[in-house]
Structure 1
Amino acid sequence: MTILCEHPPAFGVELEEKNNIPVDHDGQENELVLDEGFVVPDTNSFGHTFRDYDIESERQKGVEEFYRTNHINQTYGFVKRMREEYGKLNRVEMSIWECCELLNEFIDESDPDLDEPQIEHLLQTAEAIRKDYPDEDWLHLTGLIHDLGKVLLHPAFGELPQWAVVGDTFPVGCAFDESIVHHKYFTENPDCNNSAYNSKYGVYSEGCGLDRVFMSWGHDDYMYLVAKENKTTLPSAGLFIIRYHSFYTLHRAGAYRHLMNEEDVENLKWLKIFNKYDLYSKSKVRIDVEKVKPYYLSLIEKYFPAKLRW
């Protein structure tokens, strides 16, 4: 089911003007100047620049080992099996907020910027967006729920290893772009030597649309399936953000654009805005959960059923 965003076709241009986003001749943003409600910090929780995978530290070594395992095992066949198994949504029935609380038990081992429980990051992201976009309530809720698929780490969901749940995502079934973090480890992935999967297009075609593309399996794709199959009324941009917010090689390096269709191009504008908050809200700012909870419960009721199949 595709849910179209309520904005008129030209909303992308209006959005860029609203946020003072300089646009080059290809329509790409050069720099995003956020509104007064959100101040971008200079460094992450560890005092480093954000998404720096090269700094020598014990945490960085663990992150690199994570990506080595991830890149070896994320094959086209593996992703198909995971989508078929978890797409049944027959494991648990629970509300969105119950899932938020369940996720509080985990820390993402792939993230070089974050060392706090996930619910802190979810609320930091949502509240930062809420300050700058008070009228886009669907975007506030998307900020809250975008990482809920990480419950795949929980025993009730099979307790999948971190390499099959978190980390940057990328298409499988076609060549692995060199812009993917720690690309060197793909040489050990069986698909690299399979002529059906190692070309530019692989099993896809130009402009086929990202909804037809198999992404590396993890929390992004899982939460997308959960939201879609439970008939959320979030606009298509919200679903796009949920599924592709870890697809950094697209929204940072511009890779895989040859697979996108027109709707993807429009939704990517929202994703690039969202990504600023997803990334730079990883700070030590604490959120009063009980104070903001009623607001987010009202949004959940607006866009989701009371209980979801997971």
Structure 2
Amino acid sequence: MTILIEQAHDHFGNDVEEKKADINEKELVLDGGFVIPHSNSFGHSFRNYDVESERQEGVENFYRKNHTYQCYDFVKKMREEYGKLNRAEMSIWECCELLNEVVDESDPDLDEPQMEHLLQTAEAIRKDYPNQDWLHLTGLIHDLGKVLLLPSFGGLPQWAVVGDIFPVGCRFDESNVHYKYFKENPDYNNPAFNTKYGIYSENCGLNNVMMSWGHDDYMYLVAKENKTTLPSAALFIIRYHSFYAMHREGAYKHLMNDEDVENLKWLHIFNKYDLYSKSKVRIDVEKVKPYYLSLIEKYFPTAKLRW
């Protein structure tokens, strides 16, 4: 594996708020055999950002920083810098193994290394959708962009890598987690960015909308630029799986086009596994590894990807 190390950036600030999402009882059993647990790893309901727990304070502090610093100019700069894909050359599985070093500070439901979450998600999907192998692979790779947290990728702060994402360049919707912290964002009072459409137009398509920077958009760029043959729905899932204001709260629908609406159906399926498969149950990595290596070979034309 070749890692191209560049200097970490010091243009990040330090130190955005929360949102409560109650579990709908009718969602407790999926279409297949996967049964949604009633509580997360800490005994609380999933995505409950208000409950007092060992994770709550850190999660809220994360969103304070995220909503304050994720402005249009910052996102544009990150996309230009990381879109070069000149940080590393490595296989997808090598990237999966790197995530053993990563814990997501924005996640109130799990504090296990990210490799565990990837395999839990993929295996849960595989059980219920055995014939949709592209969806199994999407489950495995959807969070690989979190390598941005590692020093060899610039060591970006957590608020610039994980957490719920949202459009920049238009008004921040109140359904976003911890909306109140957006008031400190430089775009909040900018007349070019604080209207319903901002710099966009009705039904322009999410592909034309700049999203807050993080692992979602980065992994989308990696997959797309390395010419994956995964279907459009897979790339949509990778890019927008953290866009909870849209796929859970129904916000920003006025920016979506017909293709987005179709792909959203798959994201709704995927999200249940992404969210509710988180647990302390460990996956036998060596047992499932050959299967996922075969999928990587099927859907990616080269073994070594540019990151």
- Residue 308 in structure 1 maps to residue 278 in structure 2: no
In structure 2, the partner of 1:130 is: 126
Name the CA distance, whole Å, in 1 between partners of 2:137 and 2:168: 29
Matches within 5 A, 1:31-46: 31=27, 33-46=29-42
Deviation string 1:257-296 (CA, Å, 9 cap, x unpaired) is 0000000000000000000000000112211000000000
Between the aligned residues of both structures, percent identity stands at 83
The amino acid that maps onto 2:74 is F
Deviation string 1:133-182 (CA, Å, 9 cap, x unpaired) is 00000000000000000000011100000000000000000000000000
In structure 1, the partner of 2:47 is: 51
CA change 1:265–1:32 in 2 (3 A) is farther
Name the CA distance, whole Å, in 1 between partners of 2:157 and 2:83: 18
Would you identify which runs of 4 or more consecutive aligned residues in structure 1 move more than 2 Å?
30-33
In structure 2, the partner of 1:209 is: 205
User: Normalising by structure 1, what TM-score?
Assistant: 0.89
Deviation string 1:23-68 (CA, Å, 9 cap, x unpaired) is xxxxxxx857413421111100000000000011231011000000
Matches within 5 A, 1:155-166: 155-166=151-162
User: Normalising by structure 2, what TM-score?
Assistant: 0.90
Name the CA distance, whole Å, in 2 between partners of 1:272 and 1:32: 14
The amino acid that maps onto 1:243 is R
In structure 1, the partner of 2:21 is: none
- Residue 200 in structure 1 maps to residue 159 in structure 2: no
The amino acid that maps onto 1:149 is G
In structure 2, the partner of 1:286 is: 282
In structure 1, the partner of 2:58 is: 62
CA change 1:87–1:179 in 2 (3 A) is same
Deviation string 1:115-135 (CA, Å, 9 cap, x unpaired) is 100010000000000000000
* Pairing partner for 2:75 from 73, 79, 87: 79
Matches within 5 A, 1:217-236: 217-236=213-232
Q: How many residues align?
A: 281
- Give 3-state SS (helix, strand or coil) of 1:93's partner: strand
Name the CA distance, whole Å, in 2 between partners of 1:58 and 1:72: 23
Unpaired runs of at least 5, structure 1: 1-29
- Give 3-state SS (helix, strand or coil) of 1:194's partner: coil
Q: CA RMSD in A?
A: 0.9
Matches within 5 A, 1:109-258: 109-258=105-254
The amino acid that maps onto 1:59 is R
